[in-house]
A and B are shown apart, each in its own frame.
Chain A
Amino acid sequence: MSFGAMAGWQAWGLLALTAAVLTGLFYMKIRAPRVHVPSLMLWQQVLDATREMTLWERIRKTVSWIVIAATGVMLMLALTRPAPSVTAVSGGRRLIVIDSSWSMGARMSDGGTRWDRAIAHARTLIAASAGDEVALATTADGLVEGPTADAVLLEAALDRLAPSGGEGGDWPRLADVAVVHFMTDGVIPRATADLEASGARVSVEPVFEAAANVAITAFETHAAGDPEAQDEAYLELANYSGTAQPVQLVVTRGTTTVADVSIDLAAGEAVRQIVPLGRTGDARVRARITARDNALAIDDEAVAWIAGADALAVTVVSEAPGFLQLLFDRLPGLSVTFIPPAAYSQPRNGPEHVIVFDHWVPADAPSTPSLFVAPPPGSAVDVSSNWIGSARTENSPTWATSVVHPVLAGVDPSTVTLERARSVESDAWTPIARSATGTPLVSVGETEEFRRVVFGFGFTEAESNVALQPAFPVLVVNALEWLGRPALGSQVRPGVVSLDAVISRLTSPQGERVEVMTFGETRLARITSPGLYLAEGGGMRSALAVNVGDPQVSNVGRTSLTEATLSTSAEAQANAPWWPTLIAIAFVFVLVEWWTWHRRITV
């Protein structure tokens, strides 16, 4: 046994002292209460006190002494932080890096996980640090504590850690490190050459034990786009075990179960299949498996989000919607309401995602993502608080320049003929298409609160031929999508992820806020667990599907560690710290002894 808080002799000395003090106190004569009694009774009391104790009284006293002394010794022992004997490692700064890959959550034969084993081994190393500075890091979080010689602090940090991915993370950096202890199962191969290049000795401490696992290794949906076709999901299941086993698969779309099947997977088999999801339904799709030999739980569920599944609520403010009405009547995935400008008021109520202002501009800036079609030259712009900017008109403009922007994706300017364009200009707008003379034809505005698009041209025959061109639905749908649905990548993995620049708020499946930070023109968020995250910003909301499943992660039965490395496996038994156990026993002793003392069972 060794002691994490002090040298062995100091610990033993303190323990002995504690036992001695408590013994001394225990055997201290208790002074009888002062009472007035007849002398006969007094003499009888004296005789009783001097007679020899019975056997029962001797046992009772001895047990009482043992309990009291043991309780005190246990508390003192806890303070010395005892641990199984470890050999103090050579001096110098040490960095403990724990592989926080998801595979570290795989259960082992003893019921614990590889992560538990790594943590236990880290405790051992901290205990053996003998006053040297130690820093604690994971592959996902980088440096989490230290460098410090405060072992209690390091242990407290260990208590807070959990696997959170970080397969692609960089090695943590620490100057003047003598030894780097890397605790890994080797499922995700990582080259240590970079660490070694820093001059540190790298010690790979394996925590691998082969385990069988069943996983969802790929899951992604595809929106059909065609109202006649079905949405579909691609799913890959894999059985990383040495034996065949049945796997129960349940796929749900919202609250509707679209598949509930049992699949017999042979040893090592991966099954790929397309799951039809129906033509309409909830945007949330979830797949879950259950199986017998399944060491890793994190990859048993996968989620996906069908971006176009929820109808986009659009309000069109127009006196004469014309071609817009014709278009909206035919477009799938929209819920459109037409109102005249006179019926428009703010604030808006109800589930409205986008407002289209056709040839009309409200006096005050709308708070909902908005598309402005041909802002009028009349009073609305000029009389208002000028929030939309100054305006100018160009007759027969030629669509000359465009930048790459989602609103213009797939729009062929060469097919567009404009009779006149009226556009708005201010610092709030960024032109993405201009005429040959520089008039903005299409502009966008983007802040944390809103997104807006202006088409400087209208769709009537007197204004342009746009409504008769294939570019018409493409342009309008692009704008509505950009305004109403932020673009979120598919197949996001935990870690630092880039988000659409408009996303300002991210909420985890557990309802917790995830910090979103701005870096340049992108938004970054650190996602530490899988699930469906709610993404909001610019007046719109969507969901971000975060999954873990991957053959590299889920195949926990193999390791990249060499036989030689595995054979040097450290003494990484599950050596949780002893002090909590000692305190727990002491707690029981203190509580029970209180009762026995009151009842005069112990003294």
Chain B
Amino acid sequence: MSVIWTSPAALWLLLLVPLVWLAGRFSRTNFNPAQHTLQGAVRSVVLIALAVALARPVLEVGSSRVSVVYLVDVSYSVSSRSVTEAAARITEINASLQPDHMSIVAFGRHAQVVDTVDALTAIVAADGNGEADRSGTDLDQALRAARAELAPGHVPRVVLFSDGRTTSGDVATAVAQLASAGIPVHVFPLAPRELGDTWVQALHLPVRLAPGGLIAATVDVGSQRAVNVVVEIRVGTRVLGTQAAAVSPGTTPVVVDISVDEPGAVTLEARVTLAGDPLATNNTLTRAAWVAPRPRVLYVEGTPASAQYLRSALEQSGFDVDTRPAAGPPSTPEGLVAFDVVVLSDLARSVLPDTKVALLADWVERTGGGLLVAGGEAVFGEDGYRDSPLERLLPVTFERKDEPEVALVMVLDKSWSMAGTNIEMLRISAQAAVDVMKDEHTLGIVTFNDGLEWTLTPRQVGPNREEIRRAIAGIEPSGHTLIFPAVEQAYLALQKVKARAKHVLLLSDGRSYPDDYETLINKMTTEKMTVSSVAMGAAADRELLQNIAKWGKGRNYAADDPKDVPQIFVKEAKDVTTPGFDEKLLKPVVKHVGFLEGIDFSRAPQLRGRTATVLKETALELVQTEEEDPLLAYWPIGAGRAAVFSSDVKDRWAADWIRWRGYGPFFSAVVRELAGQRAPAWSLDLAVAPARGVSRNVTVTVEAREADGQPRNLLRPTVRVQAGGDARDLVARQVGPGRYEARLTIDAGAEVSAELLDASLPANVGLSRRFIPDAGAEYRFQVPDQALLTSLASSTRGTIAPDAEGLRRGGSDSRAARRAMWPWLVLLALFGWTGDLVLRRIRLFER
């Protein structure tokens, strides 16, 4: 028992009660002291009663009278037999418990009080033809109705018979209110209706959906029997994917691979088809999804004619690709904002100034852009990106980790025309080239006029430097010019030399007889030899020498001034001894699957070459060569990510790859991973509250971020909300840093979509979200939601499936019945007042 004081301040009036006794000391009445005391006591009681009454006390006294409300789920998903059993259980509990008050509430979409258990069974017997709406389960409403039915001042007991599969309402809030009111809910799970039915239970999609890419959608198929089904996912009438599966009783997940071409909001329908299905209502499930805008790729290709392969592969995988030539990288920050990933392919450093690289670096590191650099011979070494700002961004350095075995044969013209300065410069040039060669390299020198001579047969440089120097110094001019035999000799000699790189450097200043140079050079290239040529002076057969270099996949130089030749020789020697690329067949080996999961490398063709690179210490190597050189390296840097594919992406080194089925998936996986880091400038969220009665609340939240992730404030984003047939534009109000909200109430059964209207979004895609209520939720005959029912019982201190005794003990055994006390106190005061008057009129004690 306890007392609640509604206006406790009135109790201060009690301080006046001593005045009653004070007044007695100044009394002029002639009652004897005993009667005076009695009069004072009565008057004090009157005043105390009135003061306490003014404080409005409410007495809470315990009551053991029990009020039970039986809450029975009669929705369609519950079997009739379960309801009949519930009715029998109610009768049984009533007989044992004999509650002082009892009420039965049947509920489906709505709750209704029924008079008897027979009325319950009548509802299920009517099977939808009665007044009860069984097309939904609103447990929230039912629990509130149960609370209202409990008799005040009684010990409350709510007994819930349900499968716990609620389709509307906010059970959590109802439970919170019941728990705080001390009303226990005891639960009897009800079995679902048994039809031998099969249905679509749920459609699960990845968090992020990309257009064009393969999406593994999982359809949970619920079934009450083992059966073969066909599951399909469609958009409107277009089937995106189909999968046959054998499902067993319970829930079977079926994965269906689908692809959505266009970005934006999409409504997917999962459908299950099977023979002999008794109920079609639940064979489909519609779900709204958001397909992210196509990642935008800026593809800068050093060889524009070969850009088609990667561009086509990326476009087919759902990327928007802007292909540009070597001069294409933007020179302003605004030019990069539109892109998610930049691909630089075989781009010479000379065409990519440091200012543009600095922009790229800022874009990657600060705003989370993705950068893919693909190899090519132009990117290596000091003339490439070695020690450049771009290299700092990348997970590799452009250097060699090994010193290759190199064989160089110089084929030098010593005809009469070379006499004088030319032959002197030739000697100097040859010696300079030898000086940059390392000891382990192999060198041969063939000199020719109308005959040929092996001035130096191929041999290792290191132990023979003095001999080589003497041989070069001994070259003297004589005779005419005949190139072909000398080159052929070089070819034959190199065939016998064991080296990873074989190169011929041809120098001539005259014209030779025509011959089948092309066939010879092609043979050489077939055997991985390369040929460079130097045309010395104006009289040289420049066309022939150019062709030889072209066929030989080497470089051609025209030296009008003989003094330029030493420099050319040194460069050639350097290039050949530290090649920027390896042109040979390379087998890719996956070292770390990472984001390349699902790509079948077992059938990947060999690559024909790669740029020499060395992996940085903290970078991740996903694909390497059999020699453990990096092919695909990757690392996060700043807010963004960068990757290097050290082979190329086109028809030179990747000539076989571009025909491989994995070519597109491989590069789209790389580019998608690189693109995933950019925090969107805008994000939109549609929070739809559970339906309550005929309506539900919707909150649209917009978040705006700067490129560096900081909130964008003081905007007025407009959101177009379409609910049912009505569309209206709402200005979302800012509620926090970078966060904006619009709230509205819609019809419970209405579809609702929200679209962000903002000029900064791509023209072809608005940011939107959609919610589709599940009209068939009631008809998916899942097993009882034990988790919810158990939680409901435990949260309210109820129990699961109690007997009558358990029901009596489950929860408090006494309930506070509240009584306002002031009328009794006033009545006491009234009697006291009357008695007080009597005591002033009748002398009880003689003086």
Contacts and interface: CB of A to CB of B under 8 A. Distances in A.
Contacts of A29: 841
Interface string A570-603: 0000000001100110110011001101111000
A193 B693 CA distance: 9
Interface in A130-189: 135, 141-143, 145-148, 150, 152-153, 155-157, 159-160, 168-176, 189
Most buried by B among A28, A76, A519, A526: A519
Contacts of A143: 144, 147-148
Given A398-B593, A600-B29, A156 B140 contact: no
Contacts of A580: 7, 54, 56
A227 B492 CA distance: 69
Interface in B811-847: 818-820, 822-823, 826-827, 829-830, 833-834, 837-838, 840-843, 846-847
B148 A232 contact: no
A33 B46 CA distance: 26
A155 B826 contact: no
B152 A232 contact: no
Given A414-B594, A470-B636, A220 B694 contact: no
Contact of B795 (A197, A220, A518, A587): A518
B51 interface: yes
Contacts of A150: 152
B694 A193 contact: yes
B735 A491 contact: yes
Nearest to A587: B50
B734 interface: yes
Interface stretch (B85-93, B170-178, B287-295, B752-760): B170-178
A279 to B, nearest CB: 15
Contacts of A245: none
Contacts of B788: 520
B26 A175 contact: no
Interface string B221-237: 00000000000000000
Contact of B7 (A146, A159, A218): A159
A26 interface: yes
Contacts of B149: 175
A498 interface: yes
A449 interface: no
Contacts of A159: 6-7, 56
A469 B833 contact: no
A35 B847 contact: yes
Contact of B693 (A34, A194, A496, A518): A194
Given A135-B148, A414-B620, A415-B636, A518 B834 contact: no
Contact of A583 (B53, B711, B834): B53
Given A587-B51, A597-B29, A173 B141 contact: yes
A591 B713 contact: no
B735 A218 contact: yes
Contacts of A198: 110
A524 B837 contact: no
Nearest to A223: B737
Contact of B826 (A79, A156, A412, A524): A79
Nearest to B175: A519
B30 A234 contact: no
Contacts of A584: 54
A380 interface: no
Interface residues of B, number: 102
A473 B27 CA distance: 88
Given A146-B152, A175-B148, A415-B620, A526 B111 contact: no
A222 B737 contact: yes
Interface in A540-595: 551-552, 579-580, 583-584, 586-587, 590-591, 594-595
B317 to A, nearest CB: 19
A221 B175 CA distance: 32
Contacts of B495: none
A424 interface: no
Given A78-B826, A222-B711, A595-B23, A524 B175 contact: yes
Contacts of B56: 156, 159, 580
B694 A600 contact: no
A236 interface: yes
A522 interface: yes
Interface residues on A, range: 35 or more
B336 to A, nearest CB: 22
Nearest to A174: B148
Interface string A382-413: 00000000000000001000000000000011
B13 interface: yes
Contacts of A141: 177
Contacts of A586: 50, 829
B592 interface: yes
Contacts of A57: none
A524 B180 CA distance: 11
Most buried by A among B7, B50, B56, B819: B50
B332 to A, nearest CB: 26
A490 B736 contact: yes
A175 B180 CA distance: 22
Contact of B176 (A174, A232, A526, A583): A526
A34 B826 CA distance: 36
Nearest to A35: B847
A507 B9 CA distance: 26
A396 to B, nearest CB: 11
Interface stretch (A67-75, A309-317, A329-337, A367-375): A67-75
Contact of B694 (A22, A147, A197, A398): A197
Interface in B19-35: 19-20, 23-24, 26-30, 32
Contacts of A232: 737
Contacts of A55: none
Given A25-B834, A76-B830, A142-B147, A415 B635 contact: yes
Interface in A221-267: 221-222, 229, 232-234, 236
Contacts of B693: 170-171, 194, 197
Most buried by A among B110, B149, B822, B833: B833
B478 interface: no
B43 A594 contact: yes
A220 B701 CA distance: 15
Given A170-B141, A173-B141, A591-B16, A491 B833 contact: no
A551 B673 contact: no
B612 interface: no
Contact of A519 (B692, B795, B847): B795
A587 B636 contact: no
A37 interface: no
A33 B594 CA distance: 113
A88 interface: no
Interface in B601-627: 617-618, 620, 622
Interface string A1-40: 0000100000000000010011001101111011100000
Given A33-B846, A469-B636, A175 B23 contact: no
Contacts of B792: 519
A42 interface: no
Contacts of A597: 29, 840
B695 interface: yes
B697 interface: yes
A465 interface: yes
A520 B28 contact: no
B179 interface: yes
B707 interface: no
A598 B51 contact: no
Contacts of A30: 840-843
A587 B593 contact: no
A66 interface: no
For the complex of A and B, the 4 pairs showing the least CB-CB separation, nearest first, are: A220-B736, A194-B693, A414-B594, A222-B737
Given A145-B152, A525-B176, A590-B833, 6 more contacts: A25-B841, A160-B6, A191-B745, A519-B172, A524-B176, A524-B795
6 contacts: A68-B837, A234-B734, A414-B592, A468-B618, A520-B172, A583-B826
